[in-house]
Amino acid sequence: MNDFTRHITNVSFLFLALSAPLSFLEAQPNHVELGAVTWLRDFDEATAQAQKTAKPILLLFQEVPGCMTCRNYGSKVLSHPFIVEAVEDYFVPLAIFNNRKGRDAQILEQYGEPSWNNPVVRFTDQAGHDLIDRLNGNYRPTGLIEHMMAAMQKSSIAVPEYLKLAHAELKMEEGGLDKVTFSMFCFWTGEKVYGQVDGVAYTEAGFMDGHEVVNVYFDPSKTSVADLIEAGKKGASADGIYCSAPVHEKAASALLSERAIHQAGQFRLDREPQYYLSKSKYRSIPMSRLQRTKVNALLGNGQNPEHLLSPRQLKMLQSPGQEVKYSRDDWMQLLLAVD
């Protein structure tokens, strides 16, 4: 985690007492437990809309007002920009309060869900029948995305690349990232080379011991120091390696000369990281770190990166002065928030 990200905090939402009437739509952020998704609150309205649009239903059973688990699920999972966008674009979102009487209690009983419970998510067809197993006990963003993708596949809906990328990035963050630093003649080239490697979460261009270097943050379950060295050698971006762990030195010694292997020193971030992105029309779009890394690499290789961006991100490009769902600052904070 770099210094900038370390100081980024999750966007907080104001929690209000439960007093709003049950209406067709209940505005956010009145209930932090519901996150930033715009929910329907009536089962019959949701099934009617699902039948009209041929979309599956994302059925959230949530305690409102709720415990810390419920509040965290709203503020950290149901507020992630890519989750919000995919939920609203590909599903009919329906929220059922599991601590209310009346129609909520009837739907709770219909599905056999317990009252006063932590969040449970079901994915149903237009008639309200389960498409896949319910999501219960997994309160991570990856858990919800995995179920969303499974429900989309079950419904013959193509999963968008931005959602796949979000899942990959969050999964890497959950497992923990490793870091190694390479020196090369040009760190702009280095970021382009390493940004293409599957398993690289993000890169940082800068200086170390007077050399241009790139910090490479990677998922050790998907790639290795040896793989990165090989990719760097092919792309003329592995003149030297700065190691912070003996295991890295061991891997490097099998592929690089002894004089190319160094102990990690003080790193200074360049003022213009992800050069190709910074010089493109996409530079003003808030992106996650993995998105930025991949988009920069594609641009550096003369390729179109738009398949990695969501429709709302592209709308920001087409209408620069228009905010989409979030302010740009809030979007950036949520994408960079790391527990």
| Alpha-carbon separation of residue 84 from 38, 64, 93, 96, 318 (angstroms) | 9, 19, 10, 17, 20
Do both 18 and 148 map to the same domain? Answer: yes
The answer to whether residue 151 is domain-embedded is: yes
Give the global pTM: 0.85
What does pLDDT average to over the chain?
88
Choose among 46, 78, 55, 63: nearest CA to 143: 78
Q: Both 223 and 327 in a single domain?
A: yes
pLDDT digits (tens, 9 = 90+) for 20-51: 233 333 434 469 999 999 999 999 999 999 99
How much is the pLDDT for 325?
57
Per-residue confidence (pLDDT) for residue 90, from 0 to 100 = 98
Same domain? For 125 and 243 the reply is: no
**pLDDT digit string (tens) for 240-273?**
999 988 999 999 999 999 999 999 999 999 988 8
Domain of 137, CATH number, reads 3.40.30.10
Q: How many domains does the chain have?
A: 2
| 124 and 30 in a common domain | yes
| Domain span including residue 305 | 176-339
Query: In this structure, are 73 and 131 located in the same domain?
Result: yes
Q: Looking at the structure, do residues 16 and 128 belong to the same domain, yes or no?
A: yes
What is the structure's pLDDT at 326? 53
| pLDDT: which is higher, 245 or 328 | 245
Are the beta carbons of 295 and 282 closer than 8 angstroms? yes
> In terms of domains, do 154 and 233 share one?
no
Strands (E), 27-162: 57-62, 92-97, 120-124, 135-136
The answer to whether residue 79 is domain-embedded is yes
Does the residue 148 lie in any domain?
A: yes
Tokens 């003003």 found at: 284
Instruction: Tell me whether the omega of the peptide bond preceding residue 273 falls within 30 degrees of 0, making it cis.
Output: no
| Other Cβ atoms closer than 10 A to 155 | 17
3-state secondary structure of 120: strand
Q: Are residues 216 and 155 in the same domain?
A: no
Q: Does the residue 222 lie in any domain?
A: yes
Q: Quick one: 10 and 76 in the same domain?
A: yes
Closest CA to 162 of 220, 224, 58, 89: 89
Question: Cα(27)–Cα(21) distance, rounded to whole angstroms?
Answer: 11
- Does residue 135 have a pLDDT over 80? yes
Domain shared by 151 and 259, yes or no: no
Q: Helix 328-336 vs helix 81-90: angle between axes, to the nearest 10 degrees?
A: 110
